[in-house]
Amino acid sequence: MSFHFLSKQMQFHIDFISARGAIFSKNLSRWVKFRFVAPANYWKSETAFPVLLMNDGQDFGPMGIEQTLTKAFAKKTIRPFVYLGIECNEDRMQEYGIASSADFKGRGSKAGHNSKFILEEFIPFLKKEFKVSEKGEDWVYCGMSLGGLSAFDIAYNNPDKFGKIGVFSGSFWWRKKAYVKKDIADRSRMILDIIKNRTFAPHLKFWLQTGTEDEKADRNANGVIDAIDDTKDVIKELRLKGYSYPGAVSYLEIKGGKHDLPTWGKAFPEFIAWAFVKP
């Protein structure tokens, strides 16, 4: 239900509720900006809403997410949910990454602090101040590129707090040592051991996306760009862990898709339909 305001001279129709805010993080020692978007019936609803957390929330406009959410909120096939876009700052390369360790070049040195911010500060804050679900399975975490790697790492390692993970052109190449030619196993990619070493969580589901023009690099000269190779290797590792594909793991490869906001924005409606489909 949407709110309607009528008079003899004018009428208003509210499609959604939107607000911007900021929370001070002790872990990051800075104010973290965020955007909140909810269906028009948010205030009237007697039930809590599932949640979509998104890294790189500053890309809300360029990705056309407002229009995507407006359409999603109107669809009867999609569960009502709220969106929280978490903005990054100039420390993005340090705050995003793998929480347990920086990469071999020292990038992601603050990823552990960012993980603690999400888990110990932001989620408790949202549960206290907003009408959001207490159930971890109702929470979805997504991100693009390095933000996608960060979302995967945090959600995968904390399955009690999340039910689904979405990654657009994820930086799964993030590694603990430089790539060595002819290293077929290539276990230096940190995400592979993250997946291997974590206990299987049967409720977790994954949505992964790449574009055939994500990049041009092909380090192992197999005719497949690294972005696709890395994502498919993540799928292989998830399958070894026990997640079904297709099934628990969904994969979208966009022909002509690039490593950019327009491509991710076009894929976002399909991701939303997957993330919040009504049972």
Question: With bands split at pLDDT 50, 70 and 90, how would you rate the model's confidence at 2?
Answer: very low
In this predicted structure, the answer to whether residue 171 has a pLDDT above a threshold of 50 is yes
13 band by pLDDT with thresholds 50, 70 and 90 = low
User: Percent of the chain at pLDDT above 90?
Assistant: 92
Q: Give me the pLDDT at residue 182, please.
A: 83
pLDDT in tens, 24-69: 999 999 999 999 999 999 999 999 999 999 999 999 999 999 999 9
pLDDT value for 8? 56
Q: Could you tell me if 151 and 55 are in contact, meaning their C-beta atoms sit under 8 angstroms apart?
A: yes
pTM score over 0.75: yes
User: How high is the mean pLDDT of the chain?
Assistant: 95
Quote the pLDDT of residue 223: 96
Report pLDDT for 16: 83
Q: Residue 252 and residue 29: Cα distance in Å, rounded?
A: 37
- Distance from C-alpha of 272 to C-alpha of 53, rounded to nearest angstrom: 12
Q: 18 and 37 in contact (C-beta within 8 Å)?
A: yes
Q: Answer whether residue 174 shows pLDDT above 50.
A: yes
> What integer is the mean pLDDT of 108-122?
98
User: What is the C-alpha separation between 57 and 49, in angstroms, rounded?
Assistant: 19
